[in-house]
Amino acid sequence: MYQEESFRTSGVMYAHTRSDEADMEYKMHCHDSYEIYYMITGNVEYLLEGRSYIPRPGSLIVIPPGCFHGLKVLDGEEYHRIRVHFVRELLGEREQEMLLKPFAPGWCCYEEQFQMEWYFHALEECGSYGKDLQDIAISARLLSILTKIFAICQDASGTLRGKEGQAREIIRYINEHLKEPLTLEGLAGTFYMSKNHLTSIFKRATGTTVARYILYKRMAVVRGELSAGIPAAEAASNAGFGDYSSFFRAYKKMFGCAPTDKGGAGLPEMDKSRDF
C-alpha cells in the first residue's frame, strides 16, 4: 500500500505519505533545498551526516541544504510521514536571517512536537488552490511553520543533535575544506589511519563512499551559487572543482542538464543518478 498527497511549485515541494513496505537499504541523498520532516507513525532509521537516529512519533527533523542523509524502513508497519522542501528565496531578507537559524547548526531533531501536524495540514490545503491564491497561501503557511519551528528551537526542549565521533570529525573536516583538494590518501594521512580503515568507518557512518560524499557536497554548493546568479565556472571553482570540464560532465550526469540550463530549476534531488 502506498498513498501520497503532494504538490510542487517552483519553490516548495510538499508530500504527505503512507506506506507499509519495508526497505532495509539506506536511500542516501542530499538536496539543494531546506527540508522539514515530520514523523507521524512508523519504524524507520535515519542516517544523517554519520549519525543514525530512529525518530519516534511526533519527531520533527530540520535538514539544511547539502546535508547527506537517508533512511531505511525497518518493518511492514504503516509508515506515515510529511515532508516539506523549500528554497530560501521564498523568504524575505529579514525572514531568512531569523527563520533559517534552526537549520544553521546542521540537522536537528525536536521530539514530541505533535502540535506541528496542524501546521502541515494547513499547508496541504494549498495543493487544491488556484495558482494565484496558492502562491499567497503557501507563503503565509510556510512562514507560519518556520515561525513555529523557530519558537521550538528557542525553547530547545526535546532536542537531539549529531554527536562527535571519528567519522563525524572526518565529515566536519571535509565540509570545512571543500574548496581545497581532497583525496582519500590525503584524508587518511590527516587522520593517521589506513585508507581501508577510513573507508570502512566512513561507509558505516554515512552509507556512502568518501568520493561520492565529496562530490555531492560540492554539487550542493554549486547549486546554491547558481541559484544566487553566480556564473557556472566561478561556482564550480568556489565549490572545489579544479577542472571545469570534469565538473561539467559530472553535473550533466547527475542533473541531466548543463549547469547553465535554467530548465532544470526547482527542487531536484541530488541522487537522480545511482551511478555516482
Q: Which helix (H) or strand (E) holds 216?
A: helix 210-227
For position 162, what pLDDT does the model report? 45
DSSP state for residue 104 in the 8-state scheme: T
How far is it, in rounded angstroms, from Cα 9 to Cα 157?
Answer: 33
Which of 115-119, 192-196, 224-228, 266-270 is modeled with the greatest confidence?
A: 115-119
Domain boundary assignment for the chain: 2-161, 166-255
Beta bridge partners, 61, equal: 37, 109
Report the C-alpha dihedral over residues 49, 54, 60, 65, rounded to 10 degrees. Answer: 20
pLDDT band at 197 (very low <50, low <70, confident <90, very high): confident
Determine the CATH number of domain 166-255: 1.10.10.60
Lowest mean pLDDT among 18-32, 133-147, 160-174, 232-246: 160-174
**Per-residue pLDDT tens over the stretch 37-56:** 999 999 998 888 878 888 98
For position 153, what pLDDT does the model report? 85
- In 3-state terms the chain splits into helix, strand, coil percentages (rounded to 5) of 45, 20, 35
For position 165, what pLDDT does the model report? 63
Angle 125-109-217 from CA coordinates, rounded to 5° = 90
Residue 227 CB: number of other CB atoms within 10 A? Answer: 16
The type of residue at 154 is Q
Residue 40 CB: number of other CB atoms within 10 A? Answer: 18
For position 47, what pLDDT does the model report? 85
For position 100, what pLDDT does the model report? 94
116 three-state secondary structure? helix
Residue 163's contacts (CB-CB under 8 Å, 6 or more residues apart) are: 51
C-alpha cell at 216: 555531492
Lowest mean pLDDT among 88-102, 136-150, 220-234: 220-234
For position 276, what pLDDT does the model report? 41
Lowest mean pLDDT among 23-27, 73-77, 134-138, 162-166: 162-166
Which segments within the chain are labelled E, that is strand? 2-8, 12-19, 34-41, 44-48, 51-53, 60-63, 69-73, 79-86, 108-110, 159-161
Alpha-carbon distance values, 24 to 13, 20, 141, 255 (Å): 25, 13, 35, 26
DSSP state for residue 93 in the 8-state scheme: H
Q: How far apart are the first and last CA of the chain?
A: 30
pTM for the model stands at 0.71
CATH topology of domain 2-161: Jelly Rolls (2.60.120)
